[in-house]
Amino acid sequence: MKKLFVTIIVCFVLIFKSFADEGMWLPMLLGQQVYDDMVKKGLKLTKDQLYNINKPSIKDAIIIFGSGCTGEIVSAEGLTFTNHHCGYDAVASASTMDHNYLRDGFYAKNKGEEIPSNLSVQFLLRIDDVTKEVLDSLKGLSGVERVQRQSVVLAAINKRMSDASQSIETRVSPLFKGNQFLAFVYQRYNDIRLVGVPPESVGKFGGDTDNWEWPRHTGDYSVWRVYMSADGKPAKYAETNVPLKPKWFLPVSIKPLKDGDFSMIYGYPGSTNRYETSYGVSLSTSINNPTLVKLRDVRLKFMFEEMKKDPAIKLQLASSYAGIANYWKFYDGETKQLLKYDIWGQKRKAEEKFIAWAKGKPEYSNIFSDWEKAYNAWLPYAKHRVYIIEGIFGSPLMAFASSLTQVETALVKQGATQADLKKAIMSANDQRKAFMEAENKISDQNIVAAVTKMFYEDIVKDQQPVGFYGNLKNTYGPLDDEATYKKYAADIFSKTMLFDDAKWNAFMAHPDANTLQGDPAYAYASAYYNNYVSKYLPYYQQFTAKNSEFGRLYLKGIMEMDPAKAKMMYPDATFTMRVSYGAVKSYRPRDAVFYDYVTTSQGILEKYIAGDYEFDLPAKQIELLKKKDFGQYMDPTRKDLVICFITTNDITGGNSGSPVMNNKGELIGLAFDGNYEALSHKMAFDKDLNRTINVDIRYVLWCIDKLGGGTNIINELKLMR
């Protein structure tokens, strides 16, 4: 195994494509050739300044923000920048109709005005290689048995390397399809306070229309502060806590940008699948993506109808709507780009080369024939799974109702104790409180009616819950009539105890299985849930185990086949710290079209539509922009305020809020999006068209200072002119 480990490090870390800016590199394993290429392209920092576990380095300023974003420390007192959409839910939770920070924005004039949140952040302490330990424990195992054993081994390592008393958490990440395992050790801080956020019209300017598009004019930022106990340790919120004293913070550059300037992004990219097969591409483009887009389209339609009617409903649904809409557009675009650039064909050519090489090699010769069988066995059920996740349980009511299976289990399972039942009841009660706060009954009822009909029409009859649609027809009417499903949904929502406090409290006091099973919402949810879990989930588990096993062997074989020419041999994103490098760069997406590398306030004024849901802005902002009151943030070459810029950096979801730095490690912007022409990036990086969209830090500072009056925040930063 030691020989395999050495091979992995040499091949995966040192082989790269020097002609592109592709790659999400592990800073711990930044090979000399990669570092030399960074220096060649303009980097002025040493490797120790990029990553060091014994001395402060840039990695100490980069944090996991919340549960799925990146943030960066920008002052000696724990001040933190991230995206507006990364703190969106916390800002919405802190808002009321009287103090609507989401709508109006907010800036604390001093630390005493900062608003506590339920957010946490995590700092990376170190990365340990545990490959040998894991692989030794998996010798001779394959398929489901290997997957199950791997989960047990990783959980044991995580537990051994964590320390709750010090808020230290460890998560082992499988890399290169399970050929390498690294343990990422973090320290979590739980006292995170809101310092500043622009009005939603600034932070989401352009809305869904501009999402994943360039040119862009969105002020996608928010400002927070990390607090620690008086003795310098992570702690829950307390008035006696003090601002964090970080090991490293990023200086902020207000110098102008030029086309071709070096750019570097640190962060936590969520997931990519660059080593996906042609089978996987086909499954995504033919079934998974189109089905997801179709179902999310319905959910968004009904939510938006209600959000337009009432500002309170807009506030209530804003966070959920934004999350659903973001990846609705992504998966629609991904499908189109994968087909447009024939990624299936590109993958297939590489596979045919591998198949020819693998002949006569027992470990690899049958991979693709067996892999094809695994996909063919799963294909008949793939759409069903998407419908369960995105359709049936895309309804908030049904998602909550399905969670009550734990209560039913505690009531009917042989051997279940009163302690089990009490725990399940208390958990259900807490979940109901959160559900009720977020629930909009009108939109949800419409969603249930629509997806119930869609499931009947799109999923083959022998996969539908036995007797479900027959009973529906007998009670409510013809199955091809929309009115049938509307009557059924109305009945569920009017009769379920889940909305009735008196009935719910009575059930909590005296829970019994008959009452739960007879509830119309639970009956609906459990019909679909039990049908899927008992019949089709086992097929999915078998498929994922085989897919994982073949993927691991395929990648291992690629290295052996031709290591000197292996392409894209950096690890897929796994929400672990990565660094990517590239350049500020304009591009030509198609014939006769040229996109500049920056946008300016002129573009904001051109897009601005007073009162529009997506393109409105505060009157004060329009006044300041028209007066060209840009202050020290004006770009001297353009005589304007730069709003956003693009780079060639390789990022993906999870990088939201990541710092974009210049060659000296100074903050020049916050990454927040990618461009539509390269939405195939999870499976295939496009070296010509891929661009990362970033909000310029000068616009962020202008909004804080000129628009928000947060001069105290500006004074806390180390500005580089």
Residues 105 and 197 in one domain: yes
What is the structure's pLDDT at 13?
A: 39
Residues 133 and 91 in one domain: no
Residues 105 and 201 in one domain: yes
What is the structure's pLDDT at 568?
A: 53
Q: Region 587-614: what's the mean pLDDT?
A: 96
Residues 47 and 73 in one domain: yes
Q: Region 600-619: what's the mean pLDDT?
A: 96
What sign results for the dihedral spanned by CA atoms 93, 99, 101, 103?
Answer: positive
Residues 627 and 484 in one domain: no
Helices (H), 341-404: 343-358, 367-386, 396-403
Residues 216-262: pLDDT tens digits?
999 999 999 999 999 999 999 999 999 999 999 999 999 999 999 99
Q: What is the DSSP letter of 499?
A: G
Hey, is 565 helix, strand or coil?
A: helix
Residues 690-718: pLDDT tens digits?
999 999 999 999 999 999 999 999 999 99
| Domain-embedded: residue 284 | no
Residues 514-560: pLDDT tens digits?
999 999 999 999 999 999 999 999 999 999 999 999 999 999 999 89
| Domain-embedded: residue 440 | yes
Residues 445 and 509 in one domain: yes
Measured CA to CA, the distance from residue 567 to residue 92 in angstroms comes to 44
**10 Å Cβ neighbour count for 54?**
7
In percent, the amount of the chain with pLDDT more than 90 equals: 89
Q: Residue 17 pLDDT > 80, yes or no?
A: no
In percent, the amount of the chain with pLDDT more than 70 equals: 97
Query: Predicted confidence band at 569 (pLDDT cuts at 50, 70, 90)?
Result: confident
**Among 189, 214, 240, where does a domain finish?**
189
The residues, any chain, with a CB within 8 Å of residue 619's CB and separated by 6 or more, are none
What is the structure's pLDDT at 565?
A: 59
As given in the structure block, the two tokens for residue 510 are 């005296």
Closest CA to 648 of 596, 587, 567, 599: 587
Question: Is residue 395 flagged as an active site residue?
Answer: no
Phi, psi of 111 (to 5 degrees): -65, -30
Please tell me whether the peptide bond between 116 and the residue prior to it is cis, using omega within 30 degrees of 0: no
Residues 164 and 252 in one domain: no
Which is the catalytic residue, given 220, 261, 572, 650? 220
Q: Residue 310 pLDDT > 50, yes or no?
A: yes
Phi, psi of 644 (to 5 degrees): -135, 165
Task: Look at the chain and report how many structural domains it folds into.
Answer: 3
What is the structure's pLDDT at 122?
A: 98
Q: Region 369-394: what's the mean pLDDT?
A: 98
Residues 116 and 85 in one domain: yes
Q: Residue 3 pLDDT > 80, yes or no?
A: no
Q: Region 482-490: what's the mean pLDDT?
A: 98
What is the structure's pLDDT at 323?
A: 84
Residues 25 and 58 in one domain: yes
What is the structure's pLDDT at 10?
A: 36
Q: Residue 1 pLDDT > 90, yes or no?
A: no
* H/E stretch holding 443: helix 441-458
| Domain-embedded: residue 558 | no
- Residues forming beta bridges with residue 252, ordered by sequence position: 667, 719
Q: Residue 206 pLDDT > 70, yes or no?
A: yes
Q: What is the mean pLDDT of the chain?
A: 94
Q: Residue 481 pLDDT > 80, yes or no?
A: yes
* H/E stretch holding 644: strand 642-647
Residues 384, 463 contacting (CB under 8 angstroms): yes
Which is the catalytic residue, given 656, 673, 680, 696? 656
Residue 240 is part of a domain; what is its CATH number? 2.40.10.120
Q: Residue 11 pLDDT > 70, yes or no?
A: no
Q: Region 426-430: what's the mean pLDDT?
A: 95
**DSSP letters for 502-548:** HHHHHHHHS--HHHHHHSHHHHHHHHHHHHHHHHTHHHHHHHHHHHH
| Domain-embedded: residue 1 | no
Residues 652, 271 contacting (CB under 8 angstroms): yes
What is the structure's pLDDT at 16?
A: 37
Residues 688 and 619 in one domain: yes
Residue with tokens 């573009």: 603
Q: Residue 619 pLDDT > 90, yes or no?
A: yes
**Among 189, 219, 240, where does a domain finish?**
189
Residues 698, 638 contacting (CB under 8 angstroms): no
Helices (H), 562-688: 601-607, 619-626
Nearest 5°: the CA angle 321, 322, 325 is 80
| Domain-embedded: residue 357 | no
Measured CA to CA, the distance from residue 463 to residue 475 in angstroms comes to 21
Query: Predicted confidence band at 31 (pLDDT cuts at 50, 70, 90)?
Result: confident
Hey, is 655 helix, strand or coil?
A: coil
The residues, any chain, with a CB within 8 Å of residue 526's CB and separated by 6 or more, are 401, 402, 405, 408, 517
How far is the CA of 226 from the CAs of 120, 143, 254, 704, in angstroms?
9, 44, 24, 19
What is the structure's pLDDT at 311?
A: 87
Residue with tokens 């470990």: 363
Measured CA to CA, the distance from residue 569 to residue 614 in angstroms comes to 41
When mean pLDDT is compared across 68-77, 565-574, 643-652, the lowest value belongs to: 565-574
Length of the chain (residues) = 721
Q: Region 95-114: what's the mean pLDDT?
A: 94
| Domain-embedded: residue 374 | no
Cα-only R_g, the chain: 26
Which is the catalytic residue, given 21, 57, 85, 95? 85
Residues 580 and 657 in one domain: yes
Question: Is residue 85 flagged as an active site residue?
Answer: yes
Measured CA to CA, the distance from residue 376 to residue 374 in angstroms comes to 6
**Among 514, 535, 556, where does a domain finish?**
535
The parent domain of residue 616 ranges over: 19-120+192-273+568-720
What is the structure's pLDDT at 61?
A: 98
What is the structure's pLDDT at 15?
A: 35
What is the structure's pLDDT at 32?
A: 85
As given in the structure block, the two tokens for residue 641 are 């305020």
| Domain-embedded: residue 11 | no
What is the structure's pLDDT at 566?
A: 56
Q: Residue 9 pLDDT > 60, yes or no?
A: no
Q: Region 275-304: what's the mean pLDDT?
A: 97
Measured CA to CA, the distance from residue 164 to residue 530 in angstroms comes to 37
| Domain-embedded: residue 616 | yes
Residues 658 and 526 in one domain: no
Q: Residue 2 pLDDT > 50, yes or no?
A: no
